[in-house]
Amino acid sequence: MARGWESKSVEEQQAQAAADSGKPRPALTPKQMANQHQLQLLTLARRQIQQQREMARDPRHREMLDKALAHLDAQLAQLG
């Protein structure tokens, strides 16, 4: 069942990308591009740590991951 949902999500993402490819994008400044890239990196890192947090069994490990999430959230708030 999870694979079915996952593949539907991928199909939806591909359809969205195809629909968006015809729209002109506004030009971004180098600073905006750097901020957008940094935002993507932080979001990905947060997702990975959140997944690790969900699987962690040791309370000390969870605490360390919670601190990492808080740090990433602070960085995301600065960018956003």
Q: Is residue 41 part of a domain?
A: yes
Instruction: Report if residue 74 sits inside a domain.
Output: yes
Work out how many domains the chain is built from and give that number: 1
pLDDT given at position 13: 77
Higher pLDDT, 8 or 62: 62
**Strand segments (E) across 1-80:** none
pTM listed for this prediction:
0.65
Digit-coded pLDDT (tens) for 4-55: 555 667 778 777 777 666 667 788 899 999 999 999 999 999 999 999 999 9
Asked if residue 6 is part of any domain, the answer here is no
Confidence of residue 1 (pLDDT cuts 50, 70, 90): very low
Token pair recorded at residue 62: 């969870």
12 in a structural domain: no
Residue 13 placed within a domain: no
**Residue 2 vs residue 26, higher pLDDT:** 26
72 assigned to some structural domain: yes
Which range marks the domain in which residue 36 is found?
29-80
Handedness of CA 46, 27, 80, 74 (dihedral sign): positive
Q: Would 15 be classed as within a structural domain?
A: no
* Contact status, residue 47 vs residue 72, Cβ threshold 8 Å: no
60 in any annotated domain: yes
